Amino acid sequence: MSEELTLGARRVRASFNPGNNSAVDMLKQTIAKFIDQCEAMKNGDGEVLRCLALAQTHAEDAAMWAVKAATAEKQKETRAA
């Protein structure tokens, strides 16, 4: 039976790393933990929920851009070959 992923791990698709890039793993794990911490802080207050939802969304954006940067050099090397 597979281990249930946290919300953060699901949001950043932590298990998807076809290139086995260690930087991608580190980035995704870091952002997943941040998203999970934000989720744990939710308390029902409308403004708090709004701020945390925005933080989670922007963290997902940051993860995507960071993964793009971490994999850019590998793509560049592939094109040169």
**pLDDT score of 3:** 80
**pLDDT score of 77:** 59
Q: How confident is the model at residue 1 (pLDDT cuts 50, 70, 90)?
A: very low
Distance between terminal CA atoms of the chain? 41
The full set of domain ranges for the chain reads 29-71
Instruction: Tell me how far apart the alpha carbons of residues 52 and 58 are, in angstroms, rounded to a whole number.
Output: 10
pLDDT in tens, 34-78: 999 999 999 989 999 999 999 999 999 999 999 999 999 765 656
Residues in the chain, overall count: 81
pLDDT in tens, 10-27: 999 999 999 999 999 999
Q: How confident is the model at residue 80 (pLDDT cuts 50, 70, 90)?
A: low
- Is residue 7 a contact partner of residue 39, using CB atoms and an 8 Å limit? yes
**pLDDT score of 24:** 97
Token pair in block for residue 50: 């709004």
